[in-house]
Structure 1
Amino acid sequence: MPFPVDHLIFGPDDVDLSRSPLAGQFGAETYVLGAFNPGLTRLPSGNLLMMVRVAEALRKPIADGHVHCIRWDAGRYRLDAWPLDLCDTADPRKFLVRGGKWRVMALTSLSWLLPVELTADGRERVAVHYDRVIAPHAGFQCYGIEDARISRVDDRWLMTSCSVSPERHSTTLYSSTDGLDWRFEDIVLDHQNKDMLIFEGRIAGRYWAQTRPLGDLYFAYPPASEWRAGPSINLATSPDAHHWKPHPHPGIRPHADTVATARMGGGTPPILTDQGWLTLWHGVEPKEIVGIYRTYWSLLDSENPAEIVRTEHEPLLEAAPELTRPLEDKLYVRDVVFTTGIVDAGDHFIVASGEADLACRITHIPKSAFGL
C-alpha cells in the first residue's frame, strides 16, 4: 500500500564523525556502516526526536591476517585483533569465532545513539544533538548500544536499548523528563532479551512491556497446532519499570502456516487507541544470511494485552529499494525494514523505521490502515 509520506530522513552521510565519541581514539579510519533503527517520540515543543543508532565501523577491518573489532574499555576505545583463520566473516555486520561448543561472535562496528530532532510532521531535520550523544560508559556496553525504543508514560520518557558485551546481551533503561536529556537508570533485563518495548501508558497502575527472549532450543507445539515453535513476543509487568515479572500468558506467536514470520520480535512501543493497544512488530522470512524483514501489526486488548483483538497476516511495510537507490554504493544488506518508533499525528501515525540497516525511514500511515 503506498503512503502519502514515505522517505529517508537521515543516513550515513548525515553523520559528522569528527563529533563521534570514537573520534581520535585509535589510529584507524572509520566510517558509518549505518544510521538506522531510530527510537521516536514527540518533544514538549511539538517537534519529533529520533534516537538514531550509529554503527561506526572500521574502514579496513581485515589486515595482516586478522579481523579487527572496536571495544570500549575503561573510558577509551581500542581495537582487538582475531586470527582470520579462526573466523567466519560471511556476514558484513559481524564475524563468528570458530572452535567452541556454542556460537561466539564479535561485531564489525560499534554502535552509539545520536539524537536527531525533526519537524512535527517528520518531513525535515531541525537539529542533530551531538552534545547529547549516548555512548558506552560501562563494561556491559563494551561492544556498543543498539536500537533505542522510546515510550512516554505519564510525565516521563522511558527508553530501552540493547547493551552488548561478552558477559551479557542486556536491555538497559534510560529516562528523561523532557525527551531530550537522558539519564542512565539500570540494566533491567538480562541476556539476549533484545526487543523490549514499554507500553505508552500503565494498566491498573502497572507498567507493561513486550519482550523477546532468544535461545537455541524451543519446544514443539503439537503437530496440528496453529503456532510455530521459535522466538515470540512475550509480555512482562512491573511496578516501577525497573523490576520486571514475565506474564504467564503468551503474547504474539508465529503462525505455523507462514514462513514470513518464522522469526519475530517487537517493533514499536504499543500505543493506546480507542480499540486497544496498537503494536507494530517485525517478522523475518528465511533467505540467505540475513533474511527478509517486514513490518506487521496487531491490536491488543486495552485491559489484557495478552488478548489479540485484531491482526493482519499481510505486511504493513516492506523494504523499499527505490528509497535506497541513491545509496546503492553503501548497501550491504537488502530486503530489510525494521520499524522502531511511532507517534500519533491526528488522522495518521508517523512511523520510524530502519531501512536496509542503513538509514532512517519516516512513513505516514493513515489510521484507516488499521481499521481505526
Structure 2
Amino acid sequence: MSAFKLHRLGTIMVPEPGNDMEIEGVLNPAAVRGPDGALYLFPRLVAKGNYSRIGIARVKFDEKGDPCGVDRLGIALEPEEDYEKRPGGGGCEDPRITFVETLGRYMMTYTALSADGPRIALAQSTDLIRWERLGLAKFLPYKKIRFNGIDNKDACIFPMGVLSKHNHLSMAMLHRPLFPGTRPEDTMLKSINRRIGDHHECIWISYCHIKMDPAKPRHLARFESNQPLAIPSAPWESLKIGAGTPPVLTPLGWLILYHGVSDMRPTKDDAHELRYAAGLMILDKEHPERILYRSPNPVLSPDLPEEQVGVIANVVFPTGIDRRDDLGQPQRFDVYYGMADNRIGVARLDIPDRLPTDME
C-alpha cells in the first residue's frame, strides 16, 4: 500500500441550477488562503459552448474542520484579451494560484484559450479580488526546443524564490507543453510500448529571473531558462502526465500532485477511452528539478460514479491544495480536484514523517 493516499471528504461544488455560466460544469479550481485567513476556491465555470470563466468562492467548513461547501462570490477573470478569445467563444481555464513570498503577491497561472489554441497566461493580485493580467508566458529555447507558439497547459508556480541552474533567484513554474503528436488522443494511437520522447512528453520546470521592480511586473511572464522534470513512466500514466497542484514545501521536500492519463483499452480494437488519475512527487528543496520520490501507483483514481460519469468520463484532476495549519495539523493537506469535468471534490492527504524507501 502506498505511503501516500488520499481519503475523499466529499463533493464540495456542483453546477448551480439555473446559472447559465455553469451549465456545462464547475471544475479544476485553484485553492488559496486569502489575506483574511479564509480559504478561497477559483473554479473554472463553463457556460454553453465551452466558454470558460474563473469564479471565486469562499469555502465553508463543518464543526470538525472539514470543507463542506462554498459561498459563491462572483467572477475573478473572464475572456477579455485577444489571447483569451476565439470565434464564438474563448476561455480562461484551470487556474492555479500561489502566494509568492519573495514577491509579496499572489500569482495566478491559467490556460487562455484563443483561436491559436491553449496557452499559459499569468496574472497577479495583492488581495485576490483585483487581478492584473501579465500576458502570455514567453520562453527562451532549451537547446533546439522552442516553446513559444506551442500549446501549453497545466502550469503552477512555486511559493518562494528558488535558484535556477544559472544561480539566479527565480520564480519557478511547472508546465506541460503539448508538442505536436503528444496529446493523449495522439499517443493512444501509438504502440503501447512506444518510445517516449524525453523532452517532448515532459513536465518542465522553467525559471523567471526575479527583478524586484513592482512598477514593471510584466517581466514575470518571461522565463529565461528551462529544464525537463519528468516523463510518463508507469502504465497508469503512459499517455501523458501534467502538473496538478502548486508545489508546497514540507519537511520531505516540495510536494506536488500531478495527473496521469492512460487508455482503458476496451475490447473493441478501434475504440479508446481515456482515464485520468493522480500521482504524487516530492522534489528536492534546493534543487527542485531533482525528484526524490514518485508514487508508483495512483494516489487517487476515478472510482466513484461522480468521477466516472460527467462531461468527460473517468477523470480526477487535482489543481488546488490547502495545508491545514489552521487546525494545527501541518501534516494534513486538503486536495481539491475536478470530477469528470463537471463538479469539484476534496480529499485529505496526510504525509508520513519520512520518505518511503521502496517507492511504495
Superposition TM-score tier, normalisation by shorter sequence: 0.7 to 0.9
Match of 1:365 among 335, 346, 349: 349
Match of 2:84 among 122, 129, 141: 141
Secondary structure in 2 matching 1:133:
strand
Matched, 1:274 2:255: no
Matched, 1:212 2:176: yes
**Distance in 1, Cα, partners of 2:240 & 2:232:** 7
Q: Which moved more, 1:137-146 or 1:181-190?
A: 181-190
**Distance in 2, Cα, partners of 1:119 & 1:261:** 37
Matched, 1:295 2:261: no
Residues 171, 119 of structure 1: alpha-carbon distance in 2 compared, 3 angstrom cutoff: same
Q: Over residues 192-221 of structure 1, what are the superposed CA-to-partner deviations in whole Å (9 max), with x where a residue is unaligned?
A: 111111112111431111111112257xxx
Matched, 1:13 2:16: yes
Residues 369, 181 of structure 1: alpha-carbon distance in 2 compared, 3 angstrom cutoff: farther
**Distance in 2, Cα, partners of 1:46 & 1:15:** 31
Match of 1:42 among 33, 54, 74: 33
Q: Over residues 234-272 of structure 1, what are the superposed CA-to-partner deviations in whole Å (9 max), with x where a residue is unaligned?
A: 11001243211242x4201111x5253321111011111
Residues 324, 274 of structure 1: alpha-carbon distance in 2 compared, 3 angstrom cutoff: closer
Matched, 1:163 2:154: no
The residue number in structure 1 matching 2:187 is none
The residue number in structure 2 matching 1:228 is 196
**Distance in 1, Cα, partners of 2:296 & 2:77:** 36
The residue number in structure 2 matching 1:111 is 52
Q: Are the equivalent residues in 2 in contact too, given 1:283–1:294 (CA < 8 A)?
A: yes
Secondary structure in 1 matching 2:321:
strand
Residues 298, 324 of structure 1: alpha-carbon distance in 2 compared, 3 angstrom cutoff: closer
Structure 1 position 112, deviation (Å): 0.6
In the alignment, structure 1 segments of 5+ residues that lack a partner are 21-30, 58-107, 219-224
Residues 145, 15 of structure 1: alpha-carbon distance in 2 compared, 3 angstrom cutoff: farther
The residue number in structure 1 matching 2:134 is 185
Q: Which moved more, 1:116-125 or 1:337-346?
A: 116-125
Match of 1:202 among 161, 168, 177: 161
Letter in structure 2 aligned against 1:338:
F
**Distance in 2, Cα, partners of 1:270 & 1:150:** 11
The residue number in structure 2 matching 1:68 is none
Q: Are the equivalent residues in 2 in contact too, given 1:201–1:272 (CA < 8 A)?
A: no
TM-score, scaled relative to structure 1: 0.73
**Distance in 2, Cα, partners of 1:265 & 1:177:** 28
Kindly report the root-mean-square deviation, in angstroms, between the aligned alpha carbons of the 2 structures: 2.6
Letter in structure 1 aligned against 2:349:
I
Secondary structure in 2 matching 1:140:
helix
Secondary structure in 2 matching 1:269:
coil
Match of 2:222 among 200, 222, 243: 243
**Distance in 1, Cα, partners of 2:162 & 2:274:** 36
**Distance in 2, Cα, partners of 1:359 & 1:215:** 29
Secondary structure in 1 matching 2:32:
strand
Residues 56, 289 of structure 1: alpha-carbon distance in 2 compared, 3 angstrom cutoff: farther
The residue number in structure 2 matching 1:317 is 300
Secondary structure in 2 matching 1:293:
strand
**Distance in 2, Cα, partners of 1:214 & 1:3:** 28
Aligned length: 297
Residues 211, 315 of structure 1: alpha-carbon distance in 2 compared, 3 angstrom cutoff: same
Q: Over residues 6-65 of structure 1, what are the superposed CA-to-partner deviations in whole Å (9 max), with x where a residue is unaligned?
A: 211111136733xx4xxxxxxxxxx611100001111122221111101111xxxxxxxx
The residue number in structure 2 matching 1:254 is 232
Match of 2:323 among 344, 356, 361: 344
Secondary structure in 2 matching 1:313:
coil
Structure 1 position 318, deviation (Å): 0.9
Q: Are the equivalent residues in 2 in contact too, given 1:290–1:333 (CA < 8 A)?
A: no
Q: Are the equivalent residues in 2 in contact too, given 1:340–1:353 (CA < 8 A)?
A: yes
**Distance in 2, Cα, partners of 1:203 & 1:144:** 31
Residues 95-106 of structure 1 mapped to structure 2, 5 A cutoff: none
Residues 192, 324 of structure 1: alpha-carbon distance in 2 compared, 3 angstrom cutoff: closer
Structure 1 position 290, deviation (Å): 5.3
Identity %: 25
Letter in structure 1 aligned against 2:125:
S
Residues 258, 236 of structure 1: alpha-carbon distance in 2 compared, 3 angstrom cutoff: same
